[in-house]
């Protein structure tokens, strides 16, 4: 399968292409499916950083369909990593559900990158959900001594695979039910985050695109957090119809 104009654009941006091979598949919980991969030489060439992600190429109705996924437990020595797919109706999700050892998928490495804030923050204030849990986990691991609060969208840990993990003290997860439009998450962050903010805090936001934009504007404009202390990136899109239906409930 060709990658269409999007693939051409990524190549112009110096994206590098690799082929991953599925090594294992495991249903972690009703909504979470984990696949192990051989990396096709990527990790040795690229190195590893917290929140590292790749663009995977799926096929959807005969057309290329590219989606971002985060590397879990990347091991450059072994040339392996895993990906944890949140299951919902979607082409990427559907591919993951049925993938078997030996299946392959094409990937482009472009756009990822993250440097630890220096000096280390006084506190991590993180907003995410199941799709960004692997990134949140890697962020927490990269700054083990920094106290952290995570607002996590999802009502049921048994369904969605559980809270972002951390053993260290000074760690709190605020579970917020997802209604489909991010409104409850916005409300929870708006009321809880300002009281935890100090000059050294670092804010990291990755939920659905519209909610991410709303919260990033709140943190930047209303709370005056400088841009080097804020990272915000939308991870998935809520369809208009879903958002409208959520607003009516
Ligand atoms: C940098 C980055 C890293 C990411 N890492 C991961 C990861 O490690 N694991 C992971 O599962 N996802 C991750 N995502 C999110 C993933 O790319 C999206 O969820 C993507 O839309 C899934 O594609 P799809 O083809 O299955 O569904 P799409 O065709 O994009 O959407 C189909 C339908 O599913 C809904 N939908 C899509 N995603 C979700 C979701 N997460 N929750 C609920 N409904 C959804 C849409 O609103 C739409 O109605 C990441 C995204 C980015 C940008």
CA 243 vs CA 27, 127, 236, 240, 246: distances in Å: 28, 19, 13, 5, 5
Listed residue (148, 140, 142, 136) closest to 116, CA to CA: 142
- Asked, for residue 237, whether it belongs to a domain, the answer is no
Out of 66-70, 115-119, 194-198, 232-236, which region has the weakest mean confidence (pLDDT)?
Answer: 115-119
Alpha-carbon gap, residue 51 to 38, rounded angstroms: 19
Higher-confidence residue of 186 and 243: namely 186
pLDDT bracket for residue 249 (50, 70, 90): low
Alpha-carbon gap, residue 56 to 58, rounded angstroms: 6
Distance 13 CA to ligand 1 centre (A): 23
What is the structure's pLDDT at 3?
78
- The answer to whether residues 98 and 18 belong to one domain is yes
Sheet (strand 80-86) strand order: 63-70, 53-60, 104-109, 16-29, 32-38, 80-86, 72-75
Q: Is the pLDDT of residue 1 over 70?
A: no
Task: Determine whether the shortest distance from the Cβ of 85 to ligand 1 is under 6 A.
Answer: yes
Q: Which two tokens stand for residue 210?
A: 């519209």
- The answer to whether residues 128 and 66 belong to one domain is no
- CATH code at position 55: 2.40.30.10
Query: Which amino acid residue places its CA nearest to atom 49 of ligand 1?
Result: 239
Q: Which atom of ligand 1 is nearest to the CA of 234?
A: 53
Beta strands in 71-214 (DSSP E): 72-75, 80-86, 104-109, 124-128, 148-153, 171-176, 202-205
Distance 120 CA to ligand 1 centre (A): 30
List pLDDT tens digits, range 161-173.
Answer: 999 987 777 899 9
Higher-confidence residue of 232 and 11: namely 232
Task: Determine whether the shortest distance from the Cβ of 238 to ligand 1 is under 6 A.
Answer: yes
- The answer to whether residues 132 and 81 belong to one domain is no
Q: Is the pLDDT of residue 247 over 80?
A: no
Domain count, the chain: 2
Q: Is the whole-model pTM more than 0.85?
A: yes
List pLDDT tens digits, range 134-182.
Answer: 999 999 999 999 999 999 999 899 999 999 987 777 899 999 998 778 9
Residue 45 structural domain: 4-109
Question: In the chain, what percentage of residues exceed pLDDT 70?
Answer: 95
Task: Determine whether the shortest distance from the Cβ of 71 to ligand 1 is under 6 A.
Answer: no
Task: Determine whether the shortest distance from the Cβ of 3 to ligand 1 is under 6 A.
Answer: no
- Asked, for residue 243, whether it belongs to a domain, the answer is no
């Amino acid at each position: 399968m060709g990658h269409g104009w999007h693939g051409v654009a990524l190549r112009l941006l110096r994206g590098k292409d690799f082929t991953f091979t599925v090594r294992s598949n495991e249903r972690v919980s009703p909504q979470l499916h984990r696949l192990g991969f051989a990396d096709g030489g990527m990790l040795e060439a690229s190195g590893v950083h917290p929140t590292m992600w790749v663009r995977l190429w799926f096929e959807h109705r005969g057309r290329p369909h590219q989606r971002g996924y985060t590397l879990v437990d990347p091991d450059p020595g072994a040339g392996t990593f895993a990906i944890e797919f949140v299951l919902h109706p979607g082409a990427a999700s559907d591919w993951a559900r049925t993938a078997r050892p030996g299946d392959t998928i094409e990937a482009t490495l472009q756009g990822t990158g993250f440097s630890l804030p220096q000096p280390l923050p006084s506190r991590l204030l993180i907003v995410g959900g199941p799709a960004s849990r692997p990134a949140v986990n890697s962020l927490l691991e990269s700054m083990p001594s920094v106290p952290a609060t995570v607002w996590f969208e999802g009502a049921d840990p048994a369904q969605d695979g559980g809270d972002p993990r951390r053993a260290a003290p000074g760690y709190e997860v605020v579970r917020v039910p997802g209604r489909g439009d991010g409104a409850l998450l916005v409300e929870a962050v708006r009321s809880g985050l300002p009281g935890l903010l100090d000059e050294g805090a670092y804010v990291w936001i990755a939920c659905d695109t519209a909610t991410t934009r709303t919260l990033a504007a709140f943190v930047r404009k209303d709370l005056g957090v400088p841009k080097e202390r804020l990272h915000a990136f939308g991870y998935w899109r809520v369809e208009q119809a879903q958002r409208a239906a959520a607003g009516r409930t």
